[in-house]
Amino acid sequence: MHPLLASRARLGAYLLGWVPIALLLTGIALSQGWSWAEAVALALPLCLLAALLFLSAWFLCRALPLGRTTEGLGTHGAAWGMAAVLMGGLWSGLAWVLARMLAWIPGLGALPQRVGIALPVLTGLGVLLYLASVALSYLMLAQDRAIEAERKGVELQLLAQESELKALRAQLNPHFLFNSLNSLSALTAVDPARAREMCVLLSDFLRRSLGLGERQLVALREELDLARTYLAIEQIRFGARLKLDWHLDPAAEPALLPTLLLQPLVENAIKHGIAALPEGGILSLSTEAVEGYVLLHVNNPVDLDAPAPEGLGLGLRQVRQRLLGRFGSRARFETGLQDGIHRVTLVFPLETEP
């Protein structure tokens, strides 16, 4: 279907665009000595005919798409020219037929003779109007292609986000899972009670992570609950080497953020920070709601003398991309190392569920 006929707004704007052309045609007729009755009686229905007749230009343009190069423009130009002459001649012929029909109305008897004299002018005007319709049709085709490309871009972005979430669910630090199972196996012989506790925590963590992974956005409180479960397991593994320092603002907990955004930060803090230090250290996590924004800090000590482990920074890059992909310029992601402490700061709008 023609795009103008598929949209009332487009069709209305298109027909409205013919009003100045009808006024121009009326002015030309008056300048040639026509009466007001003759000029208006012919110009209005003739422009309506042209509006409907020249819709055919869109089908020609769709059959002859413009390429990125100049190849084929000669063939296209010949087709446009032949179609313009044909449609211009048809339009002027319809003008003469219309004039013969209107001649029966009192006061319009001279209209066929006047139109016969003006046929060459009408033909030339019809050629120009048809070529203008060709240009308009190419503009509409370009607009439709842009809209379609944007739609496909959004679909690809959604697919990429879905793939990213699936990858995150699949990679929830396999090392953590393996180490937890090894610790669980060792605890069953020396401390069955803690082994049971660890088994329950591990089951709860896996259940929560899978549940959150099915959603695009979650409340910060849910991410914090998952982090608590994860860190409870790690505390059983590391014992006194892992100390936690939490400072949480209740006003920030309803804030929405991309799912599984906090988990990689906490995993990085353990894997590349606490675990690498023989004496362990303090993992500090704080949140704060300030003037419609959430400030989230994750700090952990690092071994300055140890070489940077392979893969360090990958999780942080993923977090940054997902945060900025969701909030754009309204969000901020910062990392830094100062006095042996690795600091990660996230700032994002405090948006809640409606």
| Interval 242-255: pLDDT, tens | 999 999 999 999 99
Q: Are strands 332-338 and 281-290 parallel, antiparallel or unpaired?
A: unpaired
Provide the pLDDT confidence category of residue 169 given band limits of 50, 70 and 90: low
| Strands of 77-181, DSSP E | none
Q: What mean pLDDT is predicted for residues 226-238?
A: 86
Among candidates 194, 189, 219, 223, which has minimal Cα distance to 208? 223
Q: pLDDT tens-digit profile of 97-122?
A: 988 888 888 888 888 888 888 888 88
- The CATH architecture of the domain made up of 171-349 is 2-Layer Sandwich (3.30)
Q: What mean pLDDT is predicted for residues 36-46?
A: 88
Domain span(s) for CATH 3.30.565.10 in the chain: 171-349
The predicted pLDDT at position 171 comes to 52
Whether the pLDDT of residue 96 is over 80: the answer is yes
Alpha carbons 224 and 198: distance in angstroms, whole number: 19
Cβ-contact 252, 350 below 8 angstroms: yes
Q: How far is CA 171 from CA 229, 269, 284, in A?
A: 17, 16, 24
Query: Exposed/middle/buried for 311, CB within 10 Å: 0-12, 13-18, 19+?
Result: exposed
Whether the pLDDT of residue 143 is over 70: the answer is yes
Q: How far is CA 56 from CA 21, 61, 86, 136, 298, in A?
A: 19, 9, 12, 12, 64
Helical residues (DSSP H) of 64-110, grouped into ranges:
73-102
